[in-house]
Amino acid sequence: MDDNKMMEPIKKRGLFYCPYACGDKRYPRTKWKTEKGAIKHINNCLMAPDRVAAREAIELKRAQDRAANDEIALSGAKYQVGDEVKFIQKYIINPIYKRRFNRMVKVRYEDEYGFRARKQIIKTIGIINGAVCYNGFIFQKDIRVCSFGEVEDEAIKLREEHLEWLKMCSDLR
């Protein structure tokens, strides 16, 4: 474990360099005028093998935890492939930023959303950010078990509420 602590600075023309692949490759390598300074860096270098290994172990643990959580979430999915679901789809009508030539320009303060009632047959079940997601975009919270007419009414209501909210935001400015 202490092997890297024994690593010596690389000495070249009276200057000292870190033996690990640290720093931004686009710039000249960091150098030290004194051996003491270089050793101090080496002991704290983020690219020292034991530090790299520690980060990789944490990353692996995180990935395993995520996979385990996804597995649990997936087993809690309420619908199966082949089921038809009714849902509210929220989509952006007018985004805050719009592309003008090759740059993004801020054209409004808030995204303007539309809401529509839809139904779709489930073809895929996956996990996005820990939540069950059908067909790549339908989340559990968007699914309704009432009649399609009621989903349509809700979409209209959500749109009205959103317009009121946008107006309130603009009144506050």
The DSSP H or E segment spanning 35 is: helix 35-44
- Residue 90: name the closest of 149, 159, 140 by CA: 159
Closest approach of Zn ion to the CB of residue 21, in Å: 8
- Which span sits near Zn ion by CB under 5 A: 12-20, 59-67, 76-84, 103-111? 12-20
User: φ, ψ for residue 132 (rounded to 5)?
Assistant: -65, 135
Using rule CB under 5 A, residue 18 touches Zn ion: yes
Question: According to CB under 5 A, which one of 9, 16, 45, 85 is a site residue for Zn ion?
Answer: 45
Among 4, 15, 20, 108, binds Zn ion (CB under 5 A): 20
Q: Is 143 in the site for Zn ion (CB under 5 A)?
A: no
85 binds Zn ion (CB under 5 A): no
Q: Is 39 in the site for Zn ion (CB under 5 A)?
A: no
Amino acid at 69: N
Residue numbers of the site for Zn ion (CB under 5 A)? 18, 20, 22, 45
